[in-house]
Every structure is written in structure tokens, then in C-alpha cells.
Amino acid sequence: MSGCGGNSDAESDGTAASGVPIKVGQIIPIEAPGISVASQAQGLTASIDAFNARGGVNGRPLQLVQCDSVGDPNKELDCADKMIAEGVVATLADFTPASPEAVSEKLASAGIPRIGMNPMNIADFTALNVYTPFAGSLLTLFGTVDTLVSHGKTKLTLMRPDLPVAAMLIQFLNPYVTSHGAEIVNEVAVGAGATDYTQFVAAAERNDAQGVIMALTPTESNQVAEAFNQLGSKLSFALAATGFTQADLQNLGSFATTSVYTSPVPAPSSSTDDFPGLKDFLADMERSGEKDLEHENLDGTEIFSWLSVRAFGEVAGGLDTISANSVAQGFMTAQDLDMAGLVPAWTPNAVQPIGIFQRVSNPMMYTMTFDGDVVVTNPTQYNLRGQ
């Protein structure tokens, strides 16, 4: 699907971009049970519309080439081919978990940089064309381990989608869990479209488990959480905050208020006193007019998209010519990009390893709680490298 950012309802006060479009792309699973991140896709469209309404890149609008991979490895490769054929100068806020190595190789061979992608595989953390200011979903799970262990929970259950692409999670997590004096005692694969979630609760409680690492997409996270809540489970939960909207958590009662959350970005419902940059983000989502992007329906993945557009605009705005090569060079040399205070100022090529993950440029993570109304984000981040 191709589209450009010309349908925004945002007020442009005469400064809306109208020059020659700059093509950017996104490969992401949308219609994909068990692995969909449709909110991130919607967030990118809204972010580009708002960016164009403010003038784009020196008067030139961004034109989005968005490809739904439906979570299929072959379709991901087709989407990569589409990016190359369309001549995008970069992809923004990608998520390609089904065929990461092959997609990475295709885009790298074509010289296309990937800005703000959600890394989920070793290939994502080693590719020289990947620049992301977020630790990503996989390292967010490391944050949930930290949180559980800090609460004395060392016998852990991993709950993940029942998909081949998710089967590798345990091998990535096990060394980190072990290094923290803990162990994964149960691995529970949750099938998309399941109707009886009590079976998963029972499986999660085996072997004297004390806490749960929930590596599920928002739909499955909510349904499993409801089952745990209804059955009064005594397990402790550390969850990726991007699995839940504010409205979701308000419907989950004591489960929501007793769980703890981690994310590389603050929750959309966080205090704008602590995170003034959220005001601009929320305004851009509201201007879209989309119900799914109303405040209470945001899950935080939209922030990944918004910051990716912001970073691209800051780098591209300083380039004499805009091409895949010049954008890649721009990100290679950029320093201290302004991330609106939602993540630290970002130097894309200042990468260091975290264990086996070789190219991590932002190892910082937030912890959060839910007070029954909104998610409260601790504004002091902690370093996944343990520094």
C-alpha cells in the first residue's frame, strides 16, 4: 500500500509541505494474528501527516510507502523488494520478525538505512544500516527480567506467541535470566485466536513459578491478563507497557495495579510535567482524527513511529541532497539528536554491545506502575548495561 501525507486535518498555518515528495517506507505486520503492531503503523501515518503539515523537510513532504507483511517471511521479502523498487530513501519504524536476516541483507545491499526499527533478532543488532533510539521489544523483555528479579522473583514463566518466529525468544532470554540468578521454569506458547485462556494460566503456574515474562502482542496480552485476573493468580507480572492502552488497564482491575511495566519510551498517559514532549506527540495523534489514536487508546508503539519521523526530519533537514546514501551518511555522523525528552539525546552511531547484541545505541529503560487511572512512569531511566 502506498500513500502520502496529504490528508492530515492538522492546521498548517500556510506552511504545509508542497515540494517534491521524499519517499520513506515501512515494513510491518498489520493484519497478522499474534504478531500485529497495527498501532505502530497507524502512528507512523499520523506522524508523517503532522510532520508534513508543519512543512516537512525544508518544504518537501514525506511520502509513505507502507507494506503489510502479515507476519509472513516471504511477504516480508516482497515488502523489501517493494521498498527498493519504489526508491525509498529510508524505512521508518520497521518491524520484520519473520525473516529478519534476509530483509536486512536486501535493504543493506540496496543501501537503504532503517531508522527507528524495532530490533528482534541478532541480524537487527548487527546490521550496519540499522539506527534506532529504542532498545526494542527484545531488550524490553530484559527489562522485565530485571524488574521481576528486583522483586525477589527468580522462578519465571515465559509466555510468548505460538509462532515459529517467537520460539527463539527463550534462547535469547536464558543467558540474561541466568546471569541474574534466575531461571525460566515454564515456557507457555499462546495460540492466536484461543478462547480458553485458563489453560495458559495453569501452565504458567507450574513448577513453583513466581513471576511471568509476558512476551505477547496487545490482543493476546489483554486476554491472558483477563484470565489471570479472573482466576486470582498470585503470580507477579512484569509486562511491556506497549502491550496495553490506558483503556485496557482500566478494565483489568487489580491485575493492572499490582503489575509492573517496562518500556524504552514513557507511556502516552504519563505526566506531561515530567515529559513535556508528550504534548506535541499527543497533539499530532489527536489531529489524525483516528479513534485508535485517541489518548486512551494509545499503547506507546506510536511514540516509536513519531520519534523515528522526528529523527529523520532532523537529519534530512541538514542534507544538501536527499538519497538513501546521503541519509545513511547523515545518521552515521549525527550527534545528540533531540528526542523531545522522551528518550535521551541520540547519537545513532554511538553503539556498544549488550551481551550478544552488538549495536545498541540507547540502552535506557523506564519502569512504570498503573494507579488505576493512568500509567505512572518513573522519569529516571535505568541502564540495561547495568551501569
> pLDDT tens for residues 347-381?
999 999 887 888 999 999 999 999 999 999 999 99
The rounded distance, in Å, linking the Cα atoms of 359 and 373 is: 37
DSSP assignment of 303-354 equals: HHHHHHHHHHHHHHTT-SS--HHHHHHHHHH--SB--TTTS--B-TT--EEE
Locate all alpha helices (DSSP H) within 37-165, ordered by sequence: 38-53, 73-86, 100-109, 122-126, 136-150
pLDDT category, 161, cuts 50, 70, 90?
confident
CATH architecture of 2-135+274-350: 3-Layer(aba) Sandwich (3.40)
Domain-wise residue ranges, the chain: 2-135+274-350, 138-263+367-383
Across residues 313-336, what is the average pLDDT? Answer: 97
CB contact set of 321 (below 8 Å; sequence gap of 6+): none
pLDDT of 190 over the 50 cut: yes
Question: What is the signed CA dihedral for 379, 94, 40, 344, rounded to 10 degrees?
Answer: 10
Output the nine-digit C-alpha cell for 278.
508528550
pLDDT of residue 4: 35
Block residue for cell numbers 522473583: 153
The CATH number corresponding to 138-263+367-383 among 1.10.10.10, 3.40.30.10, 3.40.50.2300, 2.40.110.10 equals: 3.40.50.2300
User: Do the domains 2-135+274-350 and 138-263+367-383 sit in the same CATH topology, yes or no?
Assistant: yes
User: Is the pLDDT assigned to residue 387 strictly greater than 70?
Assistant: no
Task: Give the containing element (helix H, strand E) for 66.
Answer: strand 62-68
